[in-house]
């Protein structure tokens, strides 16, 4: 989204038209002598720029062409929803709206017919090169319509100083955005566990090759007097886990109030019986969920 702060479509529209008009007036094969534009303000014979960049003192009696845009308004109809973010393609969703507005090309000169001639010349060149302009400015959807105003006097101190004629262009711009600007990472499943509730012990012990965790300090069971106490409904859904040595093991069975049988998920995502690698003391934490969120998306082609 930050890229729009560097150069937005409305600014590029004005800059593109200014560059095109400057090209017309600096090319000898297109415009006659006496109207040659030059980037050097001391050498130019016509001023071509955006609004508020030239003063009357600087211009003097030379003709001017000023490109100014009007406000733009969104049509508020979102189109181009052909790309959707889905688990099979992992493409970001692309949305597109249209902005309607306009651009005024204000031609000023010392005489009314000269101002009109400048406006008509620019009008014809834009009409003749409309396709090339659209190719050079792909953010422009279309130039909807063009018109030339009548000659209007520009007065200063109640006296006519100059004349102007205006080329008005109705323009529709593309406004596009993406819901996500970074590439998503494919994944098949995710689980979120709230483990704020837990019971832990320093007295766990496992035997080599066994799936049994033994804790002589515990009193496992479903009764209120038990500590820790298991809830029957959550236990049946396998929502109790033992965290030990960096592993998350599921509690499969309460063998006695001192022993739990555990399972683990192997590399192929199969639930298998836990088998301790060695006989050792195994401090552990017993956790259970108060939030249960599980999501799974198919792989591409499934």
Q: For residue range 23-82, list pLDDT tens digits in order.
A: 999 999 998 888 999 999 889 999 999 887 666 666 668 899 999 999 998 877 665 544
> Which position has the higher pLDDT, 161 or 60?
161
Task: Report whether pLDDT(188) > 90.
Answer: no
Task: Give the span between the Cα atoms of 112 and 160, in whole angstroms.
Answer: 11
Full DSSP string of 217-277: T-B-BSSTTSBSBPPHHHHHTT-EEEEETTEEEEEEEEEETTEEEEEEE-TTS-EEE--BS
Mean local confidence (pLDDT), 173-200? 64
Mean local confidence (pLDDT), 146-161? 84
Closest by Cα among 205, 198, 199 to 282: 205
Q: Out of 78-87, 134-143, 251-260, give the one with best mean pLDDT.
A: 251-260
Task: Report whether pLDDT(88) > 70.
Answer: no
Structure tokens at 174: 């593309």
Q: 189-296: what fold? A: Elongation Factor Tu (Ef-tu); domain 3 (2.40.30)
Mean local confidence (pLDDT), 131-153? 89
Task: Give the span between the Cα atoms of 101 and 72, in whole angstroms.
Answer: 4
Cα–Cα distance list, 72 to 14, 39, 165 (Å): 13, 30, 22
Give the CA angle between residues 93, 96, 98 to the nearest 5°.
170
**Cα Dmax for the chain:** 107
- Spell out the SS3 assignment of 92-148: CCEEEEEEEEEEEEEEEECCHHHHHHHHHHHHHHHHHCHHHHHHHCCCEEEEEEEEE
Q: How confident is the model at residue 238 (pLDDT cuts 50, 70, 90)?
A: confident
- Domain spans, the chain: 2-178, 189-296
Q: Tell me the pairing of strands 64-69 and 47-49.
A: parallel
Cα–Cα distance list, 298 to 87, 161, 171 (Å): 7, 74, 45
């Amino acid at each position: 989204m930050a890229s729009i702060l560097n150069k937005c479509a409305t600014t590029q529209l004005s800059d593109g038209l200014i560059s095109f008009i400057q090209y017309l007036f600096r090319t000898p094969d297109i415009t006659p002598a006496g109207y040659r534009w030059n980037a050097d303000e001391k050498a130019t014979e016509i001023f071509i720029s955006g609004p508020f960049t030239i003063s009357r003192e600087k211009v003097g009696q030379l003709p001017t062409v000023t490109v100014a845009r009007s406000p733009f308004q969104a049509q508020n109809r979102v189109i181009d929803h052909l790309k959707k973010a889905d688990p099979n393609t992992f493409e970001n969703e692309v949305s597109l709206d249209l902005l309607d507005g306009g651009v005024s090309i204000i031609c000023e000169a010392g005489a009314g017919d000269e101002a009109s001639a400048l406006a008509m010349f620019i009008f014809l060149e834009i009409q003749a090169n409309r396709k090339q302009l659209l190719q050079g400015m792909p953010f422009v959807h279309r130039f909807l319509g063009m018109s030339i105003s009548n000659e209007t006097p520009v007065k200063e101190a109640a006296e006519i100083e100059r004349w102007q004629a205006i080329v008005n262009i109705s323009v529709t711009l593309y406004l596009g955005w993406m819901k996500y600007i970074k590439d998503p990472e494919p994944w098949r499943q995710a689980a979120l566990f709230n483990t704020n509730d837990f019971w832990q012990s320093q007295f766990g012990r496992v035997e080599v090759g066994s799936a049994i965790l033994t804790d002589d300090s515990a009193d496992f069971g479903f009764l209120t007097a038990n500590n820790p106490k298991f809830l029957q409904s959550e236990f049946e859904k396998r929502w109790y886990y033992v965290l030990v040595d960096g592993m998350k093991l599921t509690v499969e069975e309460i063998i006695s109030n001192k022993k739990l049988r555990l399972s683990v998920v192997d590399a192929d995502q199969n639930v298998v019986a836990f088998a301790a690698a060695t006989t050792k003391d195994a401090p552990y934490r017993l956790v259970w969920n108060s939030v249960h969120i599980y999501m799974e998306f198919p792989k591409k082609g499934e």
